Amino acid sequence: MSEKEIGRRGFLHAATGTAAFTILKPQLVRGMQANSAVRVGLLGCGGRGSNHVETILKNTDARVIAVADMFQDRAEAAKQHVDKLSAAKGHAGIEKAFIGPKAYQQIAESKDVDAVVIATPPYYHVEHLGAVVAAGKHVYCEKPVAVDVPGAKRVLEIGQRAEGKLSLDVGFQIRMAPPYIELVKRIHAGALGDIATGAAYYYCNAIDLNFSNLPPAMLRLRNWIQDRVLSGDIIVEQNIHAIDICNWTLNAHPLKATGRGGRKGRNRPGDTCYSHFDVVFQYPNDVDVSFSSTQFGKGQFDVNERFYGTRGSSQSPYAGPLGIWGEDQWVWGGGEKPAAQSGQFSASGSFSDNLAEADSEKQKAFIHSITSGQFHNQAAAGVESALTAMLGRQAAYAGGELTWDDLLRSNEHWDAGIDLNNLA
């Protein structure tokens, strides 16, 4: 490994301390022959989870044979959706459905399932990821991998258990989008020169799940995206995509952050998330990246990352001109496209323009890693970006500065206070 890679590994070792390794039983480790169809189970049957399995069915030879969710109506809707898509490809569709608080264990332990897609509320990702890996199944886990620092450290340990035995992918599909791959490749090759500063933003309308007239705990689970603990707040749950691109582009995580934020304009009963964040991340080599986000009200949806260097500048919006301007000018596709207008653009998981191939390429790579035996392990990268988002969140909560090292010392465990067994 290079010195830089060793340095990044060093951060991960410092974050975990002495890892407690679990040796997977050989019979639990699922490799696939090149001609075998991977059998996929979906854990978490909301919009994003259903989008994942739809993409898998449309772009790979894998089969989706099981669904699992806390709520029966979600599982039934997903089953109908998958059955229709499977029939079009001559597949049998869903063979098993698991409902209730133990559904995650049941799908993880199902002998008929080779890989599990986790799209449950972020608060449960650590527990669900641990169960799937312990059962010897390949896993695609939606971002963020955790909502607090202790959870992030556990994910690193889970990733170490999977190393070389299973594929563990994390839902940063933008890293597989061709325009972004080419842009970052050019930046890493020096197209911007010496990067001095950057700016990123993620502006989104209010996202309403519209569940009501339910007991408080059930209401929180149904409207989890409006619950600070269940979601991790907007900067960790949604804005993390833009933050991940900053880490990827700069090939580092921030050393510290200074932040502000608040809930102005977001006062729906039961909603505990912030409406906006304003954070300055300080990366190595004195590169400051100002980040801002919103998720409330009505307005234009827009996401972008800009970097400024001695040879040029870059921008990478979800929609619109993506490229580099300056000495090595380059624009993806060479055309101008209008920015997306709908606030549901991101929430629905239905991407277009610069992200048109992100999901399909990501899911194809995940399934291929299983059939080829060239397993992925994206746990560390997922943790690094989750911790970066948490750094900004905690700095904003405190209304001041927080260093990376101070963040890693945090033992604060977020507790949702929900007993799922009492809801069954």
Query: Do 157 and 202 belong together in one domain?
Result: no
Residue 295 lies in a domain: yes
Q: What is the mean pLDDT of residues 211-215?
A: 83
Tell me which residue range forms the domain holding 39.
16-173+368-377
In whole angstroms, what is the distance from residue 113 CA to residue 32 CA? 12
Query: Do 159 and 209 belong together in one domain?
Result: no
Q: Are 191 and 315 in contact (CB under 8 A)?
A: no
Per-residue DSSP letter, 204: E
Sequential DSSP letters for 74-94: HHHHHHHHHHHHHHHTT----
CATH code, domain carrying 147: 3.40.50.720
Residue 82 lies in a domain: yes
**pLDDT above 70 for 23:** no
Helix/strand/coil percent split, the chain, to 5: 40, 20, 40
Query: Do 73 and 159 belong together in one domain?
Result: yes
Q: Quick one: 386 exposed, middle or buried, by C-beta within 10 A (0-12, 13-18, 19+)? A: buried
pLDDT interval class at 51 (50, 70, 90): very high
pLDDT (0 to 100) of residue 334: 52
Residue 249 lies in a domain: yes
pLDDT (0 to 100) of residue 183: 98
In whole angstroms, what is the distance from residue 262 CA to residue 264 CA? 6
- Read off φ and ψ for residue 196, nearest 5 degrees: -105, -35
Query: Do 109 and 181 belong together in one domain?
Result: no
Residue 272 lies in a domain: yes
In whole angstroms, what is the distance from residue 190 CA to residue 183 CA? 11
Query: Into how many domains does the chain fold?
Result: 2
Residue 125 lies in a domain: yes
**pLDDT above 60 for 341:** no
* Reported pTM: 0.89
Sequential DSSP letters for 93-156: ---EEEESTTHHHHHHH-TT-SEEEE-S-GGGHHHHHHHHHHTT-EEEEPSPS-SSHHHHHHHH
Model confidence pLDDT, tens digit, residues 119-146: 999 999 999 999 999 999 999 999 999 9
pLDDT (0 to 100) of residue 267: 86
**pLDDT above 90 for 14:** no
Task: Report residue 424 as tokens.
Answer: 């069954």
pLDDT (0 to 100) of residue 381: 97
Query: Do 262 and 147 belong together in one domain?
Result: no
CATH code, domain carrying 290: 3.30.360.10
In whole angstroms, what is the distance from residue 203 CA to residue 214 CA? 30
Q: Quick one: 269 exposed, middle or buried, by C-beta within 10 A (0-12, 13-18, 19+)? A: exposed
Query: Do 25 and 168 belong together in one domain?
Result: yes
Higher per-residue pLDDT: 208 or 149: 149
Task: Report residue 381 as tokens.
Answer: 């990268």
Pure H helices in 313-416: 344-347, 358-372, 379-398, 404-408
Model confidence pLDDT, tens digit, residues 236-277: 999 999 999 999 999 999 999 999 999 999 988 889 999 999
Tokens 């995509």, residue located: 241
**pLDDT above 70 for 213:** yes
Query: Do 334 and 198 belong together in one domain?
Result: yes
Query: Do 155 and 180 belong together in one domain?
Result: no
Residue 135 lies in a domain: yes
**pLDDT above 80 for 302:** yes
Query: Do 65 and 138 belong together in one domain?
Result: yes
Query: Do 243 and 139 belong together in one domain?
Result: no
Residue 193 lies in a domain: yes
User: How far is residue 275 from each of residues 259, 272, 417, measured CA to CA in Å?
Assistant: 14, 9, 23
Query: Do 215 and 345 belong together in one domain?
Result: yes
Task: Report residue 99 as tokens.
Answer: 């409902």
Q: What is the mean pLDDT of residues 213-224?
A: 92
**pLDDT above 60 for 424:** yes
Q: Return the ∠ at Cα 377 (arms to 375 and 381), rounded to 5°.
A: 155
Residue 421 lies in a domain: no
Query: Do 286 and 353 belong together in one domain?
Result: yes
